[in-house]
Amino acid sequence: MSTIPSLLKLKDYITLIGTTLGLISLISACIGTRDAISFGFFLISISIGTDLIDGYIARKTGTVNEMGRELDSLSDCLTFGISPAILTFQAFKTGTPYDYFLLVGCILFALGALLRLARFNISTDTGFTGVPTPASALLIITYFYANYFYTFAMGGMGVPFLEIVYYATPFFMILIGWFNITIHITFGEKGKTIYVLFILIAPLCPIFGIIGIINPNFIVSIIVALFFAISFFSLVGYILFRFFLNLFKKKKSS
């Protein structure tokens, strides 16, 4: 039996950095304050970067192996499935019976990420079926920060989110979880707009997050909130476009 160090490549250590960030984000969720939750989402946005980097290193160095494949999948499940679900529950819970619906939404989101990764591991198809888990985590990050910075502009940490946001969150979580597992949303291996959007938005999330935290006045907070809101709806809009496009193609071919 090989030792763990002998099985790990450079890309795997990058993956473990992302996993560590995911674990710290879970601790931030346990703390439960809004600034701690914001820090947790910030760490997940950084881990999206490590996920992109480890894949790039694996392809450039030719070190794609089964150990890395399993490690990457387990890391993604924690960092892009479980952590965002718990952070979202902590962020939008109200202490009322509404929280049961929120809990269901968060659980279904996490299960969607887990099932999507499990199916991906046994799939032999080229390209991707369902929305990749880092992209679904990015949806949650942009959703949270759009609301976070808007309420910050309206008065600070103690200001509650808009009432409609509390009611909408469980449905968004269920929808995004479904995005993960549906067979009606597919992407090719290369050259798809979703990845262009992903690569453009993902690095800007921590940057805008830092800007908002460093100088959280009204104008800056509104601009940052607007960026995250546009990013969220752009991603959702494109994913829904792919869904209806695939349905149209299947109906036409049949």
Tell me the pLDDT of the chain averaged across its residues.
Answer: 86
Of the candidate ranges 14-18, 76-80, 246-250, the one whose mean pLDDT is the lowest: 246-250
Instruction: Provide the 8-state DSSP code for 130.
Output: S
Bridge pairing between strands 128-129 and 186-187: antiparallel
Q: Where are the beta strands (DSSP E) in the chain?
A: 128-129, 186-187
Q: What integer is the mean pLDDT of 182-190?
A: 76
The Cα-based distances of 97 to 93, 167, 205 in angstroms read 10, 12, 32
pLDDT, tens digit, for every residue of 110-162?
999 999 999 988 877 777 788 989 989 999 999 999 999 999 888 877 788 99
DSSP-derived secondary structure for 56-99:
HHHHHHT---HHHHHHHHHHHHIIIIIHHHHHHHHHH--SSTHH
pLDDT, tens digit, for every residue of 41-97?
999 988 988 888 887 787 777 777 778 788 889 999 999 999 999 999 999 999 999
Is residue 189 pLDDT above 70, yes or no? no
Domains and CATH numbers, the chain: 4-253 (1.20.120)
Q: How big is the CA angle at 203 (ends 202 and 207), to the nearest 5 degrees?
A: 120
Is residue 4 pLDDT above 70, yes or no? yes
